[in-house]
Amino acid sequence: MQADGRTGGAPAESLLVELFCEELPPKALRALGEAFAAGLEQALRAEGLVQGTAAAEPFASPRRLAMRLAGVLAQAPQQSLLHKLMPVSVGLDGEGRPTAALLKKLASLGEEASAVERLQRQGSGKAETLMLAAHRPGATLAEGLQRSLEAAMARLPIPKTMQYPLADGWSVVNFVRPVHGLVALHGTQVVPVVALGLSAGRSTRGHRFEAAIDPVPLRSADDYEATLERDGAVIARFSDRRAEIARQLAAAGAAEGLVPIEDEALLDEVTALVERPQVLRCRFEPEFLQVPQECLILTMKANQKYFPLLDGQGRLTDRFLVVSNIRPADASAVVQGNERVVRPRLADARFFYEQDRQRSLASRVPALAQVVYHGQLGSQGERVERVRAIARALAAASGQAERGDAADRAAMLAKADLLTDMVGEFPELQGVMGGYYARHDGEGDAVARAIEDHYRPRFAGDALPRDPLGVLVALADKLETLIGLFGIGQAPTGDRDPFALRRHALGVIRMLREALPQLTLQQALSAALDAPTWPAAVAEAAAAPLAGGLVERLMQFFRDRLSVLLRDEGHAAHAVEAVLEVDASRLSTLGDRLHAVRAFALLSESAALAAANKRIANILRKSAPAPQDGANPPALDLQRFNEPAERALHAALQSTGAVSDARFDAGDFTASLQALAALKEPVDRFFDEVMVNADDPAVRANRLALLAALNRTMNRVADLSRLAA
C-alpha cells in the first residue's frame, strides 16, 4: 500500500496543551518542559496534523508543563492510497474482465465491484500488477492529539514516578507528580482529549496566593502566557522567568556595588521553584566571614537557594540575595525571615570549622584505616599509602626528586579532611577544607595547595593544580583510582561509568600534556604500578602478559579518550588515528605532530606517499613475520640491489631519511614530514619497475628490508597509511 498525502482545507491554528500538577521536581523541570513540548510536536507531525516548520514553544513552571504549537490542523489531510492487489494475469481473464479472485479481494477491502474502474496497472510483462486507488480521511485533531499526548507523556524523562489514586477512589495512575488539570485548546476551541483520568478543559490555576482570579479561564491558545501572567500572576515560560530572575539579580547586586555569584545550575533550580519571582536583598552578621567563604557560600546555595554577593575581588560579603515567590507591598517580613533562617546555617558552619581545627589533619590519618574505600581495594588508609608511593615515584620519574618528600606529605594528608565535620556535612568541600586545615596546622602553603588541588581537574574545563607539587599528588590520586579499579575489573562499560574513570583519564591526559611534558603516559603508568602496596588482584593483573593485560587495557582506554578529546578539539579523525597509531604515550608532542600532519596533507606529494605507505604496510604484513620486541631491523645487502630503481630508492632514503630524522630529533615534526616529499619520485619508480616478490629468496628479502627501512623513516611522526583515501 502506498500513500500520497494531499493538503485539505482544514484551518490551521495554534494548539495549547497544559498539564497542571502538584509541585514538580525542580532539578528536572527544565528538561521535563522541553521534552513534553518536543514529544508532542514530534507525535503530532507524525499524525500529519502540523503545517509549517515552527517548533513547539515549551512552558514549565513549578506546577505546570505546557506547550504551544502553531499551524495545527483540525484534521490531517486526506491520504491517497494505492493498494497492491494481485498480478494482472490472476485478476483479469483473457477478455479483461475481473476474475472471482479479484472481486473477492475488492470485497475484503470494503469495495463494490464497480471499483474495478479505479484499477491501475504497474510494471510490465509477468510482473504487471493491479493497484487500487483509494482515499483515507486524515486523523482528526481529537484522535491524533489523544495518541500524541499518551506517547509524549510515556517518553518524558521522569526521574521517579509517583502512583496516586484518581477521584473515583479506585483507579491509580503513575506520573511524575499528581495532575489536577488538563487544558487542550485549538485556537479557541477545546479539544476533547483525556489524560490521567482528567478531561480537557479551558481553565487553569494561577499563583497560589497572588492570582487575580481562580481558576484562570483561557480564551485562546495564543493568549496563554499573557492571560496567565495577567490573571494568574505566573510567568509561564521557563526561559522568560529565568531571564527575569537574572535581570533582577544583576540589578540588586549593582545597587549594593556587588556581584551575585554565578551558578547556572542554581539559577535553573530557583527558576523551577518560583512562579512570580522577586529578588530581595538580605544580610548576615559580618563575624561569620571569619569562616572560609567556600563553606558559607555552599551552605547558602545548597541549603537555602540564596545567591551570595561578592566584591570586586571575588570575596564573599555579608550580603546575599533571595528569590521570593511573592511580591508583597512591604517585603521587610520576607527579608527578616530569610535573614533569621540563614543564621543557624552559618552558625553550624562556624561550629564545624572551629571544632575541626581542634585536631590536626595528621592526627586523623590513622583513622582512615577504618574507612572502607572499596571491598577489593581495602581502606582509605591503604589507598593513601598507595598514593604516597605513586607520588614519590612520579616525582623521581619526572626529574623532580627534590619534591618527593613534600609530595609524600601532601599525599598522606590529602584524604584526612574526609573525617572532619565540615566535609561530613558538605562533601563537595573535600580537598578545599583540607587546604584550610593544613595551613592552620602549619604545613606550609605548598602542601596546603597540593591538598586543596589534588582532586583537580574535577570536570571538563576545570583548572589544573596550581603548582608542580599539586600536579604530582593529583596525578598520583587519579592513577591510583584508574589502576586499582581496572585491576579488579571495574572498567567502564557502554554508558556506565559509576566511578567516573573517563573523567579521571582525561585529567591524567591534561596534566601530562600541559604540566608534565617530560613524562610519557607509559612512564607514568610504570611508575604507578611500581608502588609496593597494590592488592594481590591488581598485582596479578599487572603481571599478566602484555596482550590483554592491565597495562594494555589502560593504554587502550587512554588512547580512546585521547581520540575523542583530539577530535573534539577540531582535529580530523584520520589525522588523530595516524598520530596515535605511532605514539599515544608522549602526550606533550601530540599538538605539534597533528600540526605537522595537517601541513603534510597540503603537499602535492602527500596523497601518493600516503597511498604508497599503505601499499608498503600491506606488503610487509603479508610477506614478513611479525617483528619481535627489541629485535634489530633486517639488514640491507647493497650488493643485492640489481635494479636501478631500487638503488635510486636506497640512495634517496639515505639522504632524505637523514634530513627527516634530524628534523624529528630536533622536535620539528613539520619539517620532518615535509622532507619526505623528495621520496615520491623514487618510490613511484620503485613500484613501477621493481618486482618485490622476486623468485630469488635473498633478493626478495633484501627488497623487503628496503621497504621496511622506508616504512620506519616515513612513519616516525605519524602512520601515513592512515591518510590514504
Q: How far apart are CA 447 and CA 61, in angstroms?
A: 48
**Do 71 and 105 belong together in one domain?**
no
Half-sphere exposure of 9 (CA within 13 A, CB side): 0
CA geometry: angle at 125 spanning 122 and 131, to 5°?
A: 20
Same domain, 129 and 144: no
Rounded distance between C-alpha atoms, residue 118 and residue 85, angstroms: 12
Q: Phi first, then psi: give them for residue 12, nearest 5 degrees.
A: -105, 130
Domain boundary among 167, 193, 224: 224
Q: Are residues 37 and 110 in the same domain?
A: no
Residue matched to cell numbers 640491489: 641
Distance CA 309, CA 255 (A): 11
What's the number of domains the chain is made of? Answer: 5
Q: In Å, how far from its chain's centre is CA 528?
A: 29
Query: Could you tell me the three cell numbers for 266?
Result: 542554581
Q: Which residues in 340-374 are b (16+ Cβ under 10 Å) and which e?
A: eebeebbebbbebbeebeeebbeebbeebeeeebb
Same domain, 261 and 386: no
The residue among 295, 322, 356 that closes a domain is 356
How far lies 397's CA from each of 409, 467, 550, in Å? Answer: 18, 17, 20
Residues whose CB falls within 8 Å of the CB of residue 68, separated by 6 or more in sequence, listed in order: 14, 15, 16, 17, 56, 57, 59, 221, 222, 224
* Whether 75 contacts 140, CB under 8 Å: yes
Rounded Cα distance, 340 and 536, in Å: 55
Residue 230 belongs to some domain of the structure: no
Residue 262 CB partners (closer than 8 Å, separation 6+): none
User: Which among 356, 384, 411 is the end of a domain?
Assistant: 356
Q: What is the pLDDT of residue 103?
A: 84
315 in the same domain as 191: no
Q: What is the pLDDT of residue 373?
A: 93
In a domain, 674, yes or no: yes
The answer to whether 662 touches 605, Cβ cutoff 8 Å, is: no
Grid coordinates belonging to 413? 594528608
In a domain, 585, yes or no: no
Query: Does residue 575 lie in a domain region?
Result: no
- Please give the Cα distance from 3 to 5 (Å, whole number): 6
Q: Residue 59's CB: how many other CB atoms inside 10 A?
A: 27
Residue with cell string 492571560 = 227
Q: Is the pTM of this model over 0.75?
A: yes
Angstrom distance (rounded) from CA 500 to CA 106: 63
CA distance 520 to 558: 12
Residue (of 292, 293, 295) closest to 303 by Cα position: 295
Cβ count within 10 A of residue 547 = 6
**CA dihedral sign of residues 478, 483, 489, 495:** positive
Same structural domain for residues 431 and 343? no
- For residue 342, is it within any domain? yes
The single residue listed with the C-alpha cell 584524604 is 415
Q: What is the rounded distance in angstroms from the CA atom of residue 73 to the CA atom of residue 85?
A: 32
Nearest to 308 by CA among 364, 236, 252: 252
Residues 341 and 438 grouped into a single domain: no
HSE-CB at 185 with a 13 A cutoff on CA atoms is 22
CA distance 102 to 129: 12
CA neighbor of 376 nearest in space, from 490, 528, 488? 488
Residues 608 and 696 in one domain: yes
- Alpha-carbon distance of 306 to 719, in angstroms, equals 55
Tell me, yes or no, whether 243 and 214 share the same domain: no
712 and 600, same domain (yes or no): yes
- Distance, CA of 283 to CA of 300 (rounded, Å): 12
Q: Cell 547558602 belongs to which residue?
A: 300
CA distances from 290 to 354, 430, 480, 712 (A): 10, 19, 36, 64
Single-letter amino acid, residue 1: M
Give the residues across from 308 on adjacent strands.
320
Q: Are 335 and 280 in contact (CB under 8 A)?
A: yes
- Following CA atoms 432, 433, 438, 441 in sequence, which dihedral angle do they give, to the nearest 10 degrees? 160
Does residue 447 form part of some domain?
yes
Q: Which residues contact 313 (CB under 8 A, 6 or more apart)?
A: none
Kindly report the CATH number assigned to the domain that includes residue 486: 1.10.3210
Classify residue 250: in a domain, yes or no.
Answer: yes
Q: Is 442 left (phi over 0), alpha (psi -120 to 50) or beta?
A: left
- pLDDT at position 574, please? 92
Cβ proximity of 67 and 36 under 8 Å: yes
pLDDT confidence of residue 633: 61
379 and 510, same domain (yes or no) = yes
DSSP letter at 183 equals E
The answer to whether the CB of 82 falls within 8 A of the CB of 133 is yes
CATH number of residue 715's parent domain: 1.10.730.10
| Cis peptide bond upstream of 634, omega within 30 | no
Q: Running along the chain, 725 residues long, what does each successive block of 10 average in pLDDT? A: 46 93 95 96 93 92 96 84 79 82 83 77 79 78 94 92 88 93 96 94 95 95 96 96 97 96 96 96 96 96 95 95 94 95 95 96 96 92 95 95 96 97 95 96 96 94 94 97 93 89 95 94 92 83 70 92 93 92 90 92 89 88 58 71 87 90 92 91 88 85 88 90 82
Answer whether residue 576 is part of any domain: no
Residue 322 lies in domain: 238-356
Which grid coordinates belong to 357? 581545627
What whole-number distance in Å separates Cα of residue 647 and Cα of residue 170?
93
Which DSSP symbol is given to 283?
Answer: E
598 shares its domain with 708: yes
Contacts of 406 (CB under 8 A, 6+ apart): 446, 447, 450, 469
